[in-house]
Amino acid sequence: MANDKPADTAVYEKLVQALLPWYRKNARPLPWRRDREPYHVWLSEIMLQQTRVEAVRGYYERFLTALPTIRDLAEAPETQLFKLWEGLGYYSRVRNLQKAAKKIMETGGKFPNTYDEIRALPGIGPYTAGAVSSICFERPRAAVDGNVLRITARLTGSEAPIDLPEVKRGVTEALERVYPAGHCGEFTQALMELGQAVCTPKSPKCEACPCAAFCRANAAGNAEKLPVRLPKREKRLEQKTVFLLTCAGKTAIEKRHGKGLLAGMWQLPNVPGHLNANEALQAAEKLGAKPVALEKELHKTHIFTHIRWEMVGYAIECREESGAFVWATPQQLAQEYALPTAFRIFLDAAQD
């Protein structure tokens, strides 16, 4: 395998020299860059996992308006947390945010300032610990994610699969050898900016890149072919039948079990497998919903990290409210109960 090791220190030193002045001129004015308050940076980094920058802006502002301090986060009721997070997905992230906030409050209320202490908080991995410790506390710790691995693979022309732990470890060590004293946070954010705005997965803007002159992929004209990844695992397919049960303007919802995917979240009632319309009405009857009319049949797909849900949904008007469910008004669904996107898409589709 060609070029399967990180480039030598000289290339990384050139990266520092090129990136800092470029970042000072080109950094986007993102809301979490207004200050280096650890709570703000930490929250933004957790929100940005698996989520686009533009999608996070509004969530970030709303979250901090509702919960402006770590104490507020630690004391917030779970229903409020989930509602603030609704639509962002990966709800374990917000659960771990609160667990970490509680731990911080239990140990004096001050956010820890070393990499190891930050890393020890619930839900914080090496990337987030590196980001917070470098941006907020000027620690020379790298925040290496897919963006940074893509940048370094192209710079060095590396064909080593970036999924391999040893590749990530090598890149981390190489970066930390050249982290610029006094500009650690700036360098971390510059790498983030380059990966998000210029050295993108598809159609990288090599002509606008400050590293173009010493990038091996640019010289070889194969930037879009890098980085190399291991073959992806097939997502497990699960079929579900979802019931959108309504009665006098209210919708039936229930809580999921406390373990596994979307644990403890509110959901629309559902069963495994695909039922036809008659079977769905019979199933609704067994659930105690007293169906009156089948109003709409809906087909939706939702993709999680390792699972693909193929869902058929039935909008059914009911004669009376079954005691097996919570019956929520449209206002409660909008303001109080947080439904994962996999179920909310049925609410939205039923209104079309």
* Cβ neighbours of 148 (radius 10 Å): 24
d(CA 128, CA 141): 10
d(CA 62, CA 66): 6
d(CA 195, CA 67): 30
Beta pairing class for 250-255 and 236-247: antiparallel
* Cβ neighbours of 58 (radius 10 Å): 11
For helices 184-197 and 9-26, the axis angle rounded to 10 degrees is 80
| Catalytic residue list contains 45 | yes
Determine which one of 45, 86, 186, 193 is catalytic. 45
332 closest CA partner among 155, 79, 2, 97:
79
Residue ranges with strand state E in 112-269: 236-247, 250-255, 266-267
Residues 6+ apart with CB under 8 A from 57: 30, 31
Task: Say which residue the tokens 């373990």 belong to.
Answer: 259
3-state secondary structure of 246: strand
Q: Which amino acid is at 267?
A: Q
d(CA 205, CA 198): 5
46, 191 Cβ separation under 8 angstroms: no
Radius of gyration, alpha carbons of the chain: 24
Among all residues, which ones are annotated catalytic? 45
